[in-house]
Amino acid sequence: LIVPLTILELVALGVPQADLALKFGQGGPAIVLAMVAVGAVVGRLRDLGLQVGSESLARRASDRRYAELFENAHDVVFTYNLECELTNVNRATERLLGYSREELLGMDPGILIPGDQWDKVRLMLNDCLAGRPAPSPYEIEWLTRDGRIVILEISPLLLTENGAPIGIQGIARDATERKRIEETLRHQALHDPLTGLPNRTLLEDRLAQEVKRAERDEGVLGVMILDLEEFKAVNDTFGHQVGDDLLRQVGERLAAATRDVDTVARMGGDEFGIVLGGIRGEEEAATSAKRLLGALEESVLVEGQWISVGASVGIALFPQHGAEPAALMRRAHVALYAAKRAGRGYSFYAAEDDQFNPRRLALRAELRDAIENGGLELHFQPQVECGSGRVVGVEALVRWRHPDHDLFIPIAEHSGLMGQLTAWVIGEALNWSDLWSQQGRRLMVAVNLSALQLQDRQLPDAIAEAVRGHQASAGRLQIELTESAVMADAERALEILGSLSELGIRLSIDDFGTGYSSLSYLRQLPVQEIKIDRSFVVDLPRSESDAVIVRSIIDLGHNLGLSVVAEGVEEGAALTMLERLGCDLVQGYHLSRPLPALEFGRWLADREA
């Protein structure tokens, strides 16, 4: 059976148009028009076929290039579906995680990403789905086969199909080593290399955070500054390595004595700072200070040496003592200096201790006026020779006839008036010495200097100027310095005291036995006298341990060729014991309280009579 072919079929078979016209001669013109139309359609179909074929080839080539790039990229590349299941990974991902592609594509996502990282994963997915561009790559931790944590910086791209999201593609870089280096550098920048504790920068940052929290919660916080006593003497005596080991152990003890929410930092040198967050008030801060001081009561063993460590603590509270971090830090330091001056373990900030307090500024002006216009006077306490009872010297003590007189030494020290005050004291003391000399009484006159003055290289010149013009020679002037002041900077003290000694001035170490002086330095210092601190003398008749200490100091002083004075003699029994132990001189209220010059003259005349 032969089926006639239609014109369209013949055209499709490529039959020439002339033949078609002859074959279908009945409708020539119409057929010609049909042939033209059909030819155009067939040509268009052929063009479309070629175009579709080319696009398919291009797509396949593009897919191959993408697959090659995906597979061979140095960065980690992966795709996730919306259930956070891996749907594809490249070789770099396999190498980094230690799993094969087959293992990864069927793996529970929880095996690869730690639980605490899923908030970051969800944030990344939500940002992609919402079309929110990330300002920086997402940092997400992944777990490798061997249990290591690697940090990936992921730049995600939303994957869609027919306009609907189907997942994300992530391009990631292993930032583990860089983050480790950054963390190391950050830690070094914010921590003390010796103790491992936070440093001043981190402490101040934590304090700022705690202040904001306390403001929000209407709470209280405390700032404490702790300073070790006699630390420089430890360095000078045992060496810096022992000093460093001591600081490390002190840091450990302080950290162990505080709460986890507190911050303990080494501020520098032998100074530590503590931030107490969320405390109830002054009582809790005091308890914390006592706990810190208690942690240092037990001696520290360093390289076979048992070293006793003391400390002072200054405390400032928010909002009671200040509302700004810087103000709290400064006022904690003010409280620290007050604790040191008072000789007690800790002290809270008090406005009267603060040199920048308005009242103190007014007192400074009043003190300058008192120095220049006769508002001060000297009181004299006699020093008596044991055995003979002869008065051989006096200690000059300055007094200010002012309701706030107790504050004037700290004010003078911190206002630049100490040099002027010392010059006045020495000049006035020598004026009275001149008068007593004219009366036939040759008395040594002792004047106290502070640790701050001992740092002044101009001190010898200032004292030489003060002595000049007096009948009393420099040999009748004695300068007293505390043991702690001398040992705070023993090398500087040796230099200054050497210069004073060359002027013919006698030198005495006051409060001996309370510091941490080195015998080697004591031998080098050009001193002629040591004074036993009153704390060892007051209970001498009743304390066997005090008696042992006093006897040892007297023997030590005599072995070094020094005169020994006991201060704080307040009863006859103590005087009797000191005479029996071989003490050279005594002073104290049992003999006489400090007296104004005229009254002292009358007391002396009565005694001589």
Q: What is the pLDDT of residues 152-183, one digit of tens each?
A: 999 999 999 988 999 999 999 999 999 888 88
Lookup result for tokens 């005495």: 508
- Confidence (pLDDT) at 332: 95
Tokens found for residue 277 = 């967050």
Q: What is the pTM of this model?
A: 0.49
Question: DSSP label at 513?
Answer: T
The residue type of 432 is W
- Confidence (pLDDT) at 1: 37
Question: DSSP label at 517?
Answer: -
Residues of the chain with pLDDT under 70: 1-63, 66, 344, 355-356, 358-360, 403-407, 410, 414-415, 471-473, 514-521
Which of 249, 233, 236, 224 is CA-nearest to residue 299?
249
- Confidence (pLDDT) at 303: 82
Helix (H) or strand (E) holding 362: helix 358-372
Let me know: does 331 contact 356? Beta carbons within 8 Å.
no
**Rounded to whole angstroms, how far apart are CA atoms 303 and 213?**
43
For the chain, what is the radius of gyration of the CA atoms? 45
**Rounded to whole angstroms, how far apart are CA atoms 448 and 454?**
11
Predicted confidence (pLDDT) per residue in 64-117, tens digit = 776 777 888 889 999 988 888 889 999 999 999 999 999 999 788 889 999 899
- Confidence (pLDDT) at 349: 93
Distances (CA, A) of 512 to 143, 229, 356, 461, 564: 64, 15, 33, 27, 10
Let me know: does 363 contact 411? Beta carbons within 8 Å.
yes
**Rounded to whole angstroms, how far apart are CA atoms 574 and 591?**
12
Question: DSSP label at 520?
Answer: H
Let me know: does 334 contact 360? Beta carbons within 8 Å.
no
**SS3 track for 154-214:** EEEEEEEECCEEEEEEEEEEECHHHHHHHHHHHHHHHECCCCCCECHHHHHHHHHHHHHHH
Let me know: does 344 contact 396? Beta carbons within 8 Å.
no
- Confidence (pLDDT) at 518: 57
Which of 228, 200, 231 is CA-nearest to residue 345?
228
Let me know: does 419 contact 453? Beta carbons within 8 Å.
yes
Cis check for the bond before 460: say yes or no (omega within 30 of 0): no
CA 126 to chain centre: 41
* E strands in 499-568: 506-512, 529-532, 563-567
Let me know: does 281 contact 220? Beta carbons within 8 Å.
yes
Tokens found for residue 58 = 């291009």
Helix (H) or strand (E) holding 44: helix 28-72
Let me know: does 550 contact 571? Beta carbons within 8 Å.
no
User: Which domains, and CATH codes, for the chain?
Assistant: 7-67 (no CATH), 73-180 (3.30.450.20), 193-353 (3.30.70.270), 378-399+419-608 (3.20.20.450)
Tokens found for residue 439 = 């009366």
Provide the b/e sequence for 589-608 (b: ≥16 CB within 10 Å): ebbbebbebeebbebbeeee
Tokens found for residue 118 = 């899923």
